[in-house]
Structure 1
Amino acid sequence: MSDAVMTRTMGTGEPVRGSPVRRMSASDQIHHALRERIVSLELKPGQNLSRGETAEFYGVSQTPVRDAMLKLEQDGLLVIYPQSKTEVSKIDVGQARETQFLRLSIELEVTRRLAALVDKAPLASTRQILSRQENALQDGDLELFAQLDRRFHLSLCEATGVANLWRLVAARSGHIDRLRNLNLPEPGKTANIVFYHRQILEALEAGDKVAVEVAVREHLSGTLAAVEEIMARHPEYF
């Protein structure tokens, strides 16, 4: 990590060295790596994180690890007990609802603007992402599927020049993302996501503002509509 190479985990939890990252500090890289492991549920709520062991795992000093953990605490994904321990936080449903409210507000305006476009060329990237997501669904690749899910929505924001707003929401989305990842393996969930992505894109390409608003509202309400069932299946996460 000292040579600015990201270390990450794959399936087994073993560290794998990736491509060089030159524009991120060590603490930013640690923050990103730990956040991904928390959101993906590799690191589960209540799990203890040792600063020393984490530093050893990533091959860095404890200083960038400390800074990354403080930022993750601000994100609501870690709970730090001074002079005691650091734990992955439980999923905060209230915070998830707030983030979803913000995301819905932004995406409704984004899709309204895209539906009004005469030139649909900005949607080409979204169409390509959807095609790749459909392939990931067929292959049963949930990790890639989830990545493309995020890319689909980001591409809509990019098409309207408000990608930074998406990143602002994404930074606050740790709790809703964990809820979504708990629900993703449920039968029919991934197919349902692709269905609504098709509905959204087709409505945008047709310039149908009413249809796209209905599709966005129904799509983004799915996870929180199932929150009681998710909590009943996984009470240890809350």
Structure 2
Amino acid sequence: MNFESVHLLNDLGNAVENGQGERIKRISVSQQIQDSLRARIVSLELAPGQNLSRSDIATHYGVSQTPVRDAMMKLEEEGLLTIYPQSKTEVSKIDVEHARETQTLRLSLELEVCRRLAKSGDPKAIDQARKILHLQETALSDGDLGLFSMLDKRFHLSLFQAVGIANLWQLVASRSGHIDRLRNLNLPDPGKAANILHYHRLILDAIESGNVQATDEAVRSHLSGTLETVDQIVARNPDYF
């Protein structure tokens, strides 16, 4: 990750999600473990169906089993873990129907966000998204798909921030474990990352021109990509579903 990437990501991370108020700087140990485990599950480092030992996780993070238990219970509520009492805990298989539901929610919200931006007549509203797009291009050129994926989320978050409803992005993100895993299985496919950049450019160009119809079309086409290939993804990774 280059210096510019680090600087922008730090700025975004330190920004208040809705552009107002104060950022909470301290979170509980269990929340930190939950966030870390979630990231490892979504990235597929912890694979669907993998058994997780509470004691091993506690040792990994250097904590007692209590915050690990609390974190795992929260992840079960998200549908990312399956806990069998007095038996075992497994990373949940990818639920395609849940992914479709979340995508429906995200599409409806993101269409409204981008329509507002297109109607605003303020090209500066998407300056942050333009910067992130540039960093995404660099990440792809460098072959860094991990950074590319992180910046992809930042790109969409920046659009929600631009209209002052970043809390709704957090709502979508909290439900996105299954669809995000599908995307991470799809991302290495030839041409997929370049296609994402293509649609990001189309979305920003349509917003900047104030063309609401073109904005709608670009958002719909962009967000439909992974689910249109879900049968192929499942066929290649049957043990994950």
The list of structure 1 runs, each at least 4 consecutive aligned residues, that deviate by more than 2 angstroms after superposition, is none
TM-score (norm 2): 0.89
- 2:35 is equivalent to residue 32 of structure 1: yes
3-state DSSP class of the match of 1:116? helix
TM-score (norm 1): 0.91
How big is the shift at 1:22?
Answer: 5.0
Instruction: Kindly provide the CA deviation profile for residues 119-178 of structure 1, in whole angstroms up to 9, marking residues without a partner as x.
Output: 221111010000000100111100000000000100000000000000000000000000
Instruction: Indicate the residue corresponding to 1:214 in structure 2.
Output: 217
Equivalent in 51, 55, 79 of residue 52 of structure 1: 55
Equivalent in 145, 148, 155 of residue 145 of structure 1: 148
Equivalences, count: 218
AA aligned to 2:84 is Y
More helix by share: 2
**Higher RCO (C-alpha 8 Å, min separation 6):** 2
Q: Which runs of 5+ in 2 are unaligned?
A: 1-23
Give the whole-Å Cα distance in 2 for the aligned partners of 1:233 and 1:99.
Answer: 23
AA aligned to 2:100 is R
Equivalent in 72, 94, 98 of residue 95 of structure 1: 98
Give the whole-Å Cα distance in 2 for the aligned partners of 1:92 and 1:236.
Answer: 12
Give the whole-Å Cα distance in 2 for the aligned partners of 1:118 and 1:79.
Answer: 47
Equivalent in 35, 45, 58 of residue 42 of structure 1: 45
AA aligned to 2:89 is T
Instruction: Kindly provide the CA deviation profile for residues 17-45 of structure 1, in whole angstroms up to 9, marking residues without a partner as x.
Output: xxxx9511000000000000000000001
- Cα RMSD (Å) of the superposition? 0.9
More strand by share: 1
Q: Which runs of 5+ in 1 are unaligned?
A: 1-20
Instruction: Indicate the residue corresponding to 2:74 in structure 1.
Output: 71
3-state DSSP class of the match of 1:79? strand
Instruction: Indicate the residue corresponding to 1:14 in structure 2.
Output: none
How many percent identity over aligned positions? 67
How big is the shift at 1:61?
Answer: 0.6
AA aligned to 1:154 is L
3-state DSSP class of the match of 1:86? strand
Instruction: Indicate the residue corresponding to 1:7 in structure 2.
Output: none
